Chain A
C-alpha cells in the first residue's frame, strides 16, 4: 500500500468562484476520501427573519444567492402566501414562471461558461457568457435589476410586462437559441471536451437516490424527477417532461443542463402564449400565523423552505435547504477513486453555490 497524504483544496482555488474547503486524502494521484468544511461566508440571513418585518424580508431572502435570487424571493413569498392562504392572481403566477425560467437560462449559461473555464477552454467560456448577457439585458429591461430583481412581494409581483415587451423577448430568445445550438456542438461533440468529461465522476442511479442528490445532478444519473411537476406557479398549465440522461458522468450533467436551456426557451414561449390578463398582486392584510413547507426546482436543484410564523409581524423561523447542501454528500461520493486533476471538474458539475448553502 502506498502512503496516504492529505491535500487541502480551497477555500481559495482558481476554479472555485466561492469558498468551500475539502481535505482530500490521496494515495498516489487517486482520491481516497474527501472531508468538507464550510462556513467561510456564513451571514446568518435565516436569523435576520426575526428582525425584519415579514413584508421587508423578501429583499433579504433574494440576497441569499446571486444567481437563484429570484426563486429565493418568490419562494419566501410563496411560503408566506400559503400560511396566509392568499390565492395569487393568474397573471402574477405566469410572470413568476417567466422570470424563473429566465433565471434558469442565465444560471445554466453561467455554469457552462465556468465549466469551459475549468477544463481550460477560455474562448468557449466567453461564448457562453456573451449569450448570457442577452438574458441579463432582458431581465434588466423587465425588472430593473440584472441579477437581483426585487420584483416579488407578498401577494404577487411588483412589475408587469406588457404584450409588446413579451413579444420582443420571445424574438430575442429565438435568436439566442440559434447561438446556443452553435455552442452546443462544441460542448457535446468536441474531442478535447469529451476527453475531459466522459466517464469522469460516475454517480449511479442508486447512489443518487440514497445520497439525496437533486436537480440536473440527479437527473443526469437517470432519475426522472423534477419538482416543477408539482405544478406551482403556472407550471401546472405548461407542458414539459423532465430531462434525464443515463450516462451518470460529468458529460451527462453538461448535456442535461444544455437541454434544460432549450426546455426553458420552450416554457417561456408557452407561458407568453397563455398568459392571462388581470391584476398582478392582491392586497395583504394581517400577520401570518402557521407553518408551511415549500419545494421549488431551482436551476441547481430542488430547494426546500420551511416557514413558521406566530401571528406577529416578525416570522419565527425561516429555513432554506439549498440544492448545493443536498448535493455535497453525493459529490463527495463521486470524488472517491477519481484522479486529483479531475477534482475541479467534479466540484463544478454539481454547480456549487456556497453562499447559498451557508445562508
Chain B
C-alpha cells in the first residue's frame, strides 16, 4: 500500500493540454467511416421502397406516386441497413451527426421531374398500357381460337 501514487499523473496533467475539445467552436473531426446520418441522392432514387421495408425502426417512408422519400431523423438509429439493401446505391451515410432539436421533424425529399422527363414517363406509361392491352387482346384471341378448336373436335365426336 502506498501513498502519493497519483502525484505523477497530477503533475503531468497540470502541464499538458486538455483532453477535451471546446466543441461547438472547435469542430469535431469525424472518421472516414462514421455513420452520422442517411443521405439520399434523390435523382437516382427509383422509389422502390426497399429501404422502407428493411428499416428496423420504420423511420423511412416512401411514396411512389408523389415521388417523395421521407425520413424521421429522430427515429433513425444509423444502422445503415437501408444503405446495404438499396438496389440503386443512391443511399449513403453522411459523416455528421444529426443536430439536436427541440421538436421532432421529418425530412421530406421530393423528386421534381423536368417536362421532358414527365413526357418520357407518360409515354412509357402509355406504351406499358398499350402493351398490356395488346397482351390482353392476344390472350382473348388465343382463347377464342382454343374454344373454336375445342368445338371443332367436339363436333366430329357428336356426329359419330
Contacts and interface: CB of A to CB of B under 8 A. Distances in A.
| A contacts B directly (C-beta below 8 A) | yes
Interface of A: 52-53, 56-57, 59-60, 62-63, 123-124, 127, 130, 133, 137, 140-145, 148, 150, 153, 158-159, 182-183, 185-186, 189-191, 194
B31 A186 contact: no
A153 B81 CA distance: 10
Given A62-B79, A190-B2, A191-B2, 9 more contacts: A60-B56, A140-B31, A140-B33, A141-B31, A150-B35, A190-B1, A190-B6, A191-B3, A194-B1
Interface in B1-30: 1-3, 5-6, 8-10, 19
The 6 closest A-B pairs by CB, nearest first: A144-B33, A59-B79, A144-B35, A141-B31, A59-B56, A186-B5
Interface residues of B, number: 23
A56 B80 contact: no
Contacts of A159: 33
24 contacts: A56-B54, A56-B81, A59-B81, A62-B79, A130-B19, A137-B31, A140-B31, A140-B33, A140-B34, A143-B33, A144-B33, A145-B35, A145-B78, A148-B77, A148-B79, A150-B80, A158-B84, A159-B33, A182-B8, A182-B9, A183-B9, A186-B6, A189-B1, A191-B3
Interface of B: 1-3, 5-6, 8-10, 19, 31-35, 54, 56, 77-81, 84, 93
Interface of A is mostly: helix
Contacts of A185: 2, 5
Contact of B5 (A60, A62, A140, A190): A190
A141 B35 contact: no
A162 B5 CA distance: 40
B150 to A, nearest CB: 43
